[in-house]
Amino acid sequence: MISRALTTVLLSGFFAGILMTGAQMLRVTPLILEAEKFEVIEVAVLHSHASSGITHEHLLEGVALDLHQKVETVHGVETVRHADATESWAPGDGAERTFYTAVSNIVTGIAFSLMLVAVYLLRGKSVDINSGMLWGVAGFAVFALAPALGLSPELPGMTAAALESRQVWWIGTVIATAIGIGLFTETKSILPKIVALALLAAPHLIGAPHPFLFESNVPAELSAQFAIASLVTSAFFWLVLGATSGYLFKKLVQETSGTFLKTSPLNS
């Protein structure tokens, strides 16, 4: 049963990751590429090289002037060397970016699929494509919708609060939302449901960290489009992941393991 459950995890995660990549290529990636144009500001600097007597302009893409080095004469040609700015590695546009995006989405899909299948096993109840989609909706609410209510998806170049504080708030929101949804759906008494509602509201009452001053070269319209596109794409991913994992779990685990419901930890 373990091997069949792992097969469910791998297949559903791979399928959802591939479809997620396709969905991102349609709308999310073009918006990111558009926003990246506002990160680079070209400055025209007029200067001269005394050794050659040549006065001309260099376009600097965020490179400090002190990075210009000496002029060298090679075969009678005056050349200027510039020290390259230290930049973190990033995949190139086109096929390379698409490949690494697909790999990232597949890994993410497998990780989230593992969580869903673990929930199926722990609950010990019948799962199909419909109930799988419901759990996908729950996953979307936990990992995308609830955090986005405080910290909307951000484009490159947008002003944001300190990374550590945002990470702490995001993790706390995910945990509180997951426990809240679990208590609300899996209990029947009133008190746990009240606790669930309190947990769901707590992160938003505390409030997400934001910068004191918002400054961004990215147009507000582009930011709004990206936030909507990101949430729609994430919802699509979770629906596909939930439906696929529920269908495969039923076919590979439940229908081939007659003792599944009896041996579940929650039914023992």
DSSP-assigned letters across all residues of 85-100: PP----PPTTHHHHHH
* Model confidence, pTM: 0.75
- 113 within domain boundaries: yes
On the CB side of 211, how many CA atoms lie within 13 Å of its CA? 10
- CA–CA dist 46, 194 (Å, integer): 67
| Number of separate domains in the chain | 1
pLDDT at 232 (0 to 100): 95
- What residue numbers bound the domain in which 153 lies? 2-37+91-158+216-267
- 48 within domain boundaries: no
- Any long-range contacts for 175-181 (C-beta under 8 Å, 24+ apart)? 176/200, 176/202, 176/203, 177/141, 177/142, 177/146, 177/203, 178/142, 181/138, 181/141, 181/142
Residue numbers in the chain where pLDDT is lower than 50: 41-86, 262-268
pLDDT at 223 (0 to 100): 83
pLDDT at 213 (0 to 100): 67
- 254 within domain boundaries: yes
Helix (H/G/I), strand (E/B), else coil: 210 = coil
pLDDT at 234 (0 to 100): 96
Residues 6-65 pLDDT 10s: 999 999 999 999 999 999 999 888 888 887 777 654 433 444 444 444 444 444 444 444
- 195 within domain boundaries: no
- 33 within domain boundaries: yes
* 175 token code pair: 């945990």
Arithmetic mean of pLDDT over the chain: 79
- 185 within domain boundaries: no
- 82 within domain boundaries: no
Segment (H or E) for 181: helix 163-186
- 76 within domain boundaries: no
